[in-house]
Amino acid sequence: MTHEDTTTAADVIKDVRVAMLTTVGGAGRLMSRPMATQEPFDGSAWFFVRSGSPVVTEVGATRRSG
């Protein structure tokens, strides 16, 4: 992201407190979970989950994740 992109994204999401993290579960089903957002937004989005969570397996199984 360019600095301008980061600034634009930060402006758009500055008041958002909850984001939805969507992964692909079994049989290709989309699974969405509410996740808290971080402040201040620096151009990266980090989501923290327990290591044994299904989210970890689903993200690891999707080639587009990362």
Per-residue pLDDT, 63:
67
Q: Which residues contact 40 (CB under 8 A, 6 or more apart)?
A: 10
Mind listing the pLDDT tens digit for each residue in 5-62?
A: 888 888 888 788 898 989 888 888 899 999 888 777 777 778 888 988 888 888 888 7
pLDDT value of position 34: 93
Contact assessment for residue 54 and residue 42, using Cβ atoms and an 8 Å cutoff = no
Q: pTM above 0.85?
A: no
Residue found under tokens 């969570």? 53
Q: What pLDDT score does 33 carry?
A: 92
Q: Residue 52 contacts by C-beta under 8 Å, 6 or more apart in sequence?
A: none
State residue 64's pLDDT score.
66
Report the alpha-carbon distance of residue 49 to residue 38 in Å, rounded: 14
d(CA 58, CA 17): 24
Question: 66 or 54, which is more confident?
Answer: 54
